[in-house]
């Protein structure tokens, strides 16, 4: 890989869980966040900034304990997300004379552009246009060495199988002269005679500091075996680990849509920074006929034994439904505090609110209040079709006359795992 010629700073991890208050305050020790500066002369300087990390703080008013109904509920509770790049990743800025003066002329054996950047946290599922997938139309197997000693490779091909199966793929990568940093990326498209189409990406890498990452993205069009409706599914998995401290994170996102408005969305997340770990799961389900289910469950813990969390669920149909949730905290000596709450919406402007806590709080009232909930997803079938033009344009193999596809769909996919097989430790 080419060495950096200009200064840049990248935050290793930016994690700021919110505080949690009951009748007493629990404070965690200050953690220091490292910011690594890369200078043109390759001199490295470390500067430390202190971040106070403490559990979630909740309002003492019962009406404020539940999530804001008119904002995204997934932002409530434990907030540990950050859009910052988690680990330092030096990116090549070397520009050859040919690229500088003739940017539109790409020689046959010019290596692929360096793509050695780790994924970003809490960014969900990217659209296909963000990946820039460009599969080669011919079989290629080439490699080379750059002026700085780094090497690269690029290869492409296609695989054929039964029932008209075809997979076109392109794989590329690079490596620094000493092997301390490297990256690989694979693109593919799949299709068969049943109408199945798939577009995908997988990338991985590491840098000189020992940070590693892995990411995969998929977009699929197929016919649902039960409803016979067209369905588009998108998913993404992302993982990164620090090479210098006990820190890392993993995320799995998925979205499913069908042509009648049925929609399912969800995510599982896990992270760790030194002595603190946190988890988050959430899901949304719309049946396309007005029924909606949403839920969130977030929790965290420290090596000292402190644990805290927040969860809620809502179900609605035709203006009638319910909400319920719990906020809880466990101290190192196993003392537990919790507060539960619930709402019943009758669809006539009346709402029954109730709740209690382990410290003796309780309430049970009926109030006049407007019911608000989202009966339809903000991003649905029409949106995903409009953003999946490359997927929909995949051309299957030509089917010979008299040959018909096998429409046996096979077994259902296995359930989604709660944790990755190689989660950060």
pTM, two decimals, is 0.71
In tens, the pLDDT along 352-364 reads: 999 999 999 999 9
Query: What average pLDDT does this structure show over 204-214?
Result: 94
- Is 90 exceeded by the pLDDT of residue 144? yes
What is d(CA 62, CA 350) in angstroms, rounded to the nearest whole number? 17
CA distances from 123 to 131, 211, 424 (A): 14, 20, 19
- Is 60 exceeded by the pLDDT of residue 231? yes
pLDDT at 323: 98
pLDDT at 22: 36
Q: How sure is the predictor about 136, in pLDDT bands with cuts at 50, 70 and 90?
A: confident
Secondary structure (3-state) at 59 = coil
* Spatial contact of 263 and 380, defined as CB atoms under 8 Å apart: yes
What is d(CA 380, CA 235) in angstroms, rounded to the nearest whole number? 15
Query: What average pLDDT does this structure show over 405-416?
Result: 55
What is d(CA 254, CA 265) in angstroms, rounded to the nearest whole number? 6
Least confident range of 77-86, 196-205, 238-247:
77-86
pLDDT at 217: 97
- Is 60 exceeded by the pLDDT of residue 131? yes
What is d(CA 9, CA 33) in angstroms, rounded to the nearest whole number? 13
In tens, the pLDDT along 252-294 reads: 999 999 999 999 999 999 999 999 999 999 999 999 999 999 9
Torsion angle, CA of 76/77/83/84, rounded to 10 degrees? 150
Q: How sure is the predictor about 399, in pLDDT bands with cuts at 50, 70 and 90?
A: confident
CA distances from 24 to 137, 166, 271, 383 (A): 65, 62, 27, 47
CA distances from 7 to 186, 242, 332, 410 (A): 30, 21, 44, 54
Number of H helices, E strands in the chain: 5, 19
Looking at residue 29, the DSSP 8-state letter turns out to be P
Q: How sure is the predictor about 137, in pLDDT bands with cuts at 50, 70 and 90?
A: confident
Least confident range of 56-70, 140-154, 172-186, 344-358:
56-70
What is d(CA 343, CA 372) in angstroms, rounded to the nearest whole number? 12
* % of the chain surpassing 70 pLDDT: 69
């Amino acid at each position: 890989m080419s060495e950096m010629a200009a200064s840049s700073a990248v935050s290793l991890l930016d994690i700021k869980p919110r505080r949690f208050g009951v009748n007493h305050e629990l404070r965690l020790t200050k953690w220091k966040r490292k910011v690594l500066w890369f200078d043109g002369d390759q001199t490295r300087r470390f500067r430390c900034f202190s971040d106070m990390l403490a559990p979630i703080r909740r309002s003492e008013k019962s009406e404020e304990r539940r999530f804001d109904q008119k904002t995204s509920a997934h932002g409530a509770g434990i907030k540990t997300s950050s859009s910052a790049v988690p680990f330092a990743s030096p990116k090549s800025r070397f520009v050859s004379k040919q690229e500088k003066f003739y940017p539109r002329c790409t020689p046959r054996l010019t290596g692929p552009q360096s793509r050695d950047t780790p994924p970003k946290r809490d960014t969900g599922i990217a659209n296909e246009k963000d990946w820039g997938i460009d599969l080669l139309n011919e079989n290629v197997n080439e490699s080379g060495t750059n002026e700085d000693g780094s090497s690269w490779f690029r290869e492409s091909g296609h695989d054929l199988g039964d029932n008209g199966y075809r997979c076109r793929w392109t794989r590329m990568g690079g490596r620094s002269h000493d092997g301390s940093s490297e990256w690989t990326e694979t693109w593919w498209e799949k299709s068969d005679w049943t109408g199945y189409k798939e577009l995908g990406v997988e990338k991985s890498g590491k840098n000189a500091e020992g940070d590693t990452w892995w990411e995969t993205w998929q977009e699929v069009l197929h016919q649902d075996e039960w409803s016979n409706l067209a369905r588009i599914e998108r998913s993404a998995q992302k993982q990164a680990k620090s090479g210098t401290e006990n820190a890392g994170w993993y995320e799995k996102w998925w979205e499913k849509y069908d042509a009648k408005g049925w929609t399912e969305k969800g995510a599982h997340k896990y992270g760790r920074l030194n002595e603190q770990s946190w988890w988050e799961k959430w899901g949304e389900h719309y049946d396309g006929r007005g029924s909606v289910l949403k839920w969130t469950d977030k929790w965290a813990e420290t090596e000292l034994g402190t644990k805290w969390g927040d969860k809620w669920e809502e179900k609605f149909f035709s203006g009638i439904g319910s909400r319920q949730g719990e906020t809880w905290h466990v101290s190192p000596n196993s003392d537990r505090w919790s507060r539960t709450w619930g709402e019943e919406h009758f669809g006539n402007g009346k709402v029954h609110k109730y709740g209690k806590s382990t410290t003796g709080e309780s309430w049970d009232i009926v109030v006049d209040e407007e019911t608000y909930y989202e009966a339809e997803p903000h991003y649905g079938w029409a949106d995903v079709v409009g953003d999946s033009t490359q997927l929909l344009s995949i051309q299957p193999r030509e089917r010979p006359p008299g040959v018909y596809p096998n429409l046996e769909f096979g077994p259902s996919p296995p359930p989604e795992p709660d944790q990755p097989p190689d989660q950060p430790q």
